């Protein structure tokens, strides 16, 4: 009997220990996580993802790995994350292009950003610049519009590719100004800047970081910040409203999303870690150095914001009759 009682007690103790172990072993996260960046390494979104990943890693106690999956203006990477295992270990830094613009341009988007991705938080806004080359003689956005009206179809603007926000921002400017300029798409920002510096295109709208060193060197002339606020790094450049084109608002933005079926408690942990990182001075300052603004939000705020952006860019796509080439 004594032996039986000892065995029973031992069994209860072992069961209790195993129960405690299983309760803690299932806590998220137990291993490294991944943030998918839907563009090539080296750009501002890649840098922002790495800053966010480090901040989240510090708070969650597990590594956060950055994985670049570029293609289709960000759709390839977003689609990968949408179809990943719904356990919260794969996130994506989705962009305005991939979840607000491309749904209106691709006949068969491989995922539905409204139902296949779950919002975690807005991460950052990156203001753009409307810029011309120093030798153009154009001193303002109004002068650019006047020149385009005087010679319809002669002036050109470059973008980082068909269907992206830098393309649609140019179409928005054309619509607001009532002008005809020829769109010249490039494979990314860098070649567009090269041709702009050489005077082979008249103007371009790109993320401000693509232009900053050239503006400071005097080889490019900034005409307007297509945003509601001035750019802190170039405080003398007027906003869209100040320049006379109040509806030309094209802040680039990115948001942290996960697959739609990720459990609510895991999403809550990711949200807490991400927003805490974005509110920290070191991460916010580092994002500001990239020409962006850390913009943590609630999940509901992000969902509402993304829906509004989809509706706004749908109007631009339709009115400009933009089609993928």
pLDDT, one tens digit per residue, over 183-235 is: 999 888 889 999 999 999 999 999 998 999 999 999 999 999 999 999 999 99
pLDDT beyond 80 at 14: no
Residue 138 is assigned to a structural domain of this protein: yes
- Contact yes or no for 189/209 (Cβ under 8 A): no
Q: How far is CA 172 from CA 24, 140, 161, 176, in A?
A: 53, 17, 15, 6
Query: Do 228 and 256 share a domain, yes or no?
Result: no
Query: Do 278 and 307 share a domain, yes or no?
Result: yes
Instruction: Name which residue leads in pLDDT, 175 or 39.
Output: 175
Query: Do 171 and 37 share a domain, yes or no?
Result: no
- With cut-offs at 50, 70 and 90, classify the pLDDT of residue 320: confident
In this structure, of 159-163, 277-281, 293-297, the range with the lowest mean pLDDT score is: 159-163
Q: What CATH number is attached to the domain comprising 44?
A: 3.40.190.150
User: Structural domain tally of the chain?
Assistant: 2
Query: Do 152 and 94 share a domain, yes or no?
Result: no
pLDDT attached to residue 325: 55
Tens of pLDDT, residues 94-114: 999 899 999 998 888 899 999
> Which is nearest to 199 in space by CA: 162, 167, 158?
158
Cα gap 201→157, rounded to integer Å: 6
Residue 3 is assigned to a structural domain of this protein: no
In this structure, of 5-9, 14-18, 24-28, 91-95, the range with the lowest mean pLDDT score is: 14-18
Domain-ending residue, one of 243, 270, 300 = 243
pLDDT beyond 50 at 258: yes
pLDDT attached to residue 19: 41
Residue 258 is assigned to a structural domain of this protein: yes
Q: What's the mean per-residue pLDDT of the chain? A: 90
pLDDT attached to residue 36: 98
Share above pLDDT 90 across residues of the chain, in percent, rounded to a whole number: 77
Average pLDDT in the 45-49 region? 92
Domain-ending residue, one of 243, 264, 284 = 243
Residue 5 is assigned to a structural domain of this protein: no
pLDDT attached to residue 188: 82
pLDDT attached to residue 229: 94
Q: What CATH number is attached to the domain comprising 146?
A: 3.40.190.10
Query: Do 62 and 75 share a domain, yes or no?
Result: yes
pLDDT attached to residue 21: 36
Query: Do 52 and 77 share a domain, yes or no?
Result: yes
Cα gap 95→113, rounded to integer Å: 11
Query: Do 167 and 97 share a domain, yes or no?
Result: no
Rounded to two decimals, the pTM is 0.84
Query: Do 238 and 147 share a domain, yes or no?
Result: yes
Cα gap 276→280, rounded to integer Å: 6
pLDDT attached to residue 70: 87
pLDDT beyond 70 at 18: no
pLDDT attached to residue 321: 82
Cα gap 228→3, rounded to integer Å: 79
For residue 287, report the phi and psi dihedrals to the nearest 5 degrees.
Answer: -65, -40
Share above pLDDT 70 across residues of the chain, in percent, rounded to a whole number: 92
Query: Do 68 and 160 share a domain, yes or no?
Result: no
Q: Give the structural domain span for 302.
A: 33-126+251-320
- With cut-offs at 50, 70 and 90, classify the pLDDT of residue 50: very high
Residue 78 is assigned to a structural domain of this protein: yes
Instruction: Name which residue leads in pLDDT, 154 or 70.
Output: 154
């Amino acid at each position: 009997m004594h032996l039986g009682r000892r065995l029973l007690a031992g069994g209860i103790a072992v069961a209790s220990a195993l129960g405690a172990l299983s309760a803690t072993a299932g806590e998220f996260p137990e291993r490294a996580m991944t943030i998918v960046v839907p563009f090539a390494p080296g750009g501002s979104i890649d840098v922002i993802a790495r800053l966010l990943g480090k901040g989240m890693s510090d708070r969650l106690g597990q590594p956060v790995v950055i994985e670049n999956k570029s293609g289709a203006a960000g759709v390839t990477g977003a689609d990968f994350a949408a179809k990943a295992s719904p356990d919260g270990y794969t996130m994506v830094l989705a962009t305005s292009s991939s979840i607000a613009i491309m749904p209106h341009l691709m006949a068969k988007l491989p995922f539905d950003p409204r139902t296949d991705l779950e919002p975690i938080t807005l991460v950052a806004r990156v203001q753009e610049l409307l810029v011309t080359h120093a030798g153009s003689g154009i001193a303002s956005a109004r002068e650019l519009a006047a020149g385009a009206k005087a010679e319809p179809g002669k002036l050109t603007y470059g973008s980082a590719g068909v269907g992206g926000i830098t393309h649609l921002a140019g179409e928005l400017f054309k619509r607001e100004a009532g002008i005809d300029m020829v769109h010249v798409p490039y494979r990314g920002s860098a070649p567009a800047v090269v041709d702009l510096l050489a005077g082979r295109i008249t103007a371009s709208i790109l993320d401000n970081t693509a232009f900053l060193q050239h503006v400071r060197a005097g080889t490019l002339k900034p005409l307007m910040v297509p945003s509601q606020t001035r750019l802190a790094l170039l405080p003398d450049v007027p906003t869209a409203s100040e320049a006379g084109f109040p509806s030309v608002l094209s802040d680039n933005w990115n948001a942290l999303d996960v697959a739609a079926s990720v459990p609510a408690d895991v999403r809550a942990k990711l949200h807490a870690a991400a927003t805490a990182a974005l509110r920290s001075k070191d991460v916010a300052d580092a994002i500001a150095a990239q020409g962006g603004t850390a913009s943590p939000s609630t999940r509901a705020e992000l969902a509402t914001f993304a829906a509004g952006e989809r509706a706004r860019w749908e109007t631009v796509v339709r009115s400009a009759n933009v089609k993928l080439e």
